[in-house]
Amino acid sequence: MQAPHKPIPIEEICAARERIKGFVLHTPLVSLNVDEAPGEIYLKLENV
């Protein structure tokens, strides 16, 4: 049995964000507006 993972400290997350910010392209997150949807659906448009 494996030990549970420890949470990643926010400082490490912020540092990683700074390291990659010049290489990452922000892509839109849009709501899918469908009346018959069972709940809110969001699309991450990675190929735009």
Q: What is the mean pLDDT of residues 17-44?
A: 91
The pLDDT, as a whole number, for residue 37 is: 87
Take residue 10 and report the two structure tokens written for it: 């926010």
Q: CA-to-CA distance for 39 and 41, rounded, in angstroms?
A: 6
How wide is the angle at C-alpha 12 spanned by C-alphas 47 and 19, nearest 5°? 50
Q: What is the pLDDT of residue 48?
A: 54
Chain segment 11-29, per-residue pLDDT in tens: 999 999 999 999 988 888 9
Q: Give residue 1's pLDDT.
A: 75
**Spatial distance between the Cα atoms of 33 and 41, rounded to a whole number of angstroms:** 8
- Comparing 10 with 2, which gets the higher pLDDT? 10
pTM higher than 0.85:
no
